[in-house]
Amino acid sequence: MAKDTFFHKKLTLNAGGKLIDLSTPKVMGIINLTPDSFYADSRQPAVADALRQAEKMLADGATFIDLGAYSSRPGADDISVQEETDRLLPVVEAIVNSFPDALLSIDTFRAPVAEAAVKAGAHIINDISGGQLDADMFATVARLQVPYILMHMKGDPKTMNSLAQYDDVFNEVLDYFTARYQQLKTLGVNDVILDPGFGFAKKPEHGYALLNRLEEFDQLGLPMLVGVSRKKMIYSLLGGTAADALNGTTVLNTIALTKGANILRVHDVKEAIQAVKLTGYLHNNI
């Protein structure tokens, strides 16, 4: 919740015909429909388990549920479009039927998966590759007219760790956002959310450099999503594993909120909502 800057930042999002006001930051809960995502407690490959998790996250205050059926952890195995779709669609349909007001984000870099999910009732496409791994993604999002989360990554999940080298990580990510957003705008995509891609082709020091300058991305005038939940940039400094990183996650989420983050993508919704409420009180009342 950075103070007003010279730049005019878009703070509304049209998702599923609903206008979402991002002037108060929102929380996106993560549900992984995979057997091998990096944080074990986020894995909910069974439809009933995913539905139960979605119910809890919505009750805890999540505005969005992010469903991923392809593991993007470093070195993860590739799966086919068919397998990704088969994992994903039953859960989309179950949540749409049980919680018709829930806003579903689909974590995929494949245009056919994105299209199938939107046709099944999903509302947002969250693409870790920023359109680089499927040449049809940008045109597909433009045709579907859904919000698009533009994340920065180099390479793919198998190769990204070897590509974590930068002369100036902030300016490289800024240049990437500028060029990719121009392409999306030209195609007529109306709602674009930026995601610096913490942990994707980035060492911990790169992540902290981006977090430190997060508010400078406001010059693009777009809402910002931050996804640091339980990532290596936390536990590589503090010790332990992803399972031990909730407190560190809350600390970094709080910093991100003070620097203008509009959406927190998290495994732990209740704690993120508390961070939003407390930083909001500080911003608005002190």
Of the candidates 154, 180, 202, 265, the residue annotated as catalytic is 265
For residue 231, indicate whether it is catalytic.
yes
SS3 content of the chain, % helix, strand, coil (to 5): 45, 15, 40
Whether 253 and 272 have beta carbons less than 8 Å apart is answered as yes
CA of residue 102 relative to chain centroid, distance: 16
Query: From its phi and psi, is residue 29 left (phi > 0), alpha (psi between -120 and 50) or beta?
Result: beta
Q: CA–CA separation, 95 vs 152, rounded Å?
A: 29
What is the C-alpha to C-alpha distance for residues 94 and 241, in angstroms, rounded to an integer?
Answer: 32
User: Which of 180, 202, 231, 259 does the annotation list as catalytic?
Assistant: 231
130: region left, alpha or beta (phi > 0 left; psi from -120 to 50 alpha): left
Q: How far apart are CA 230 and CA 155, in angstroms?
A: 22
Give the DSSP H/E element, type plus range, for residue 95: helix 81-98
Spatial CA neighbour of 226 closest among 36, 38, 66 = 66
Which helix (H) or strand (E) covers residue 48, if one does? helix 47-60
Active-site annotation holds for 265? yes
Distance CA 128, CA 271 (A): 24
Active site residues: 231, 265
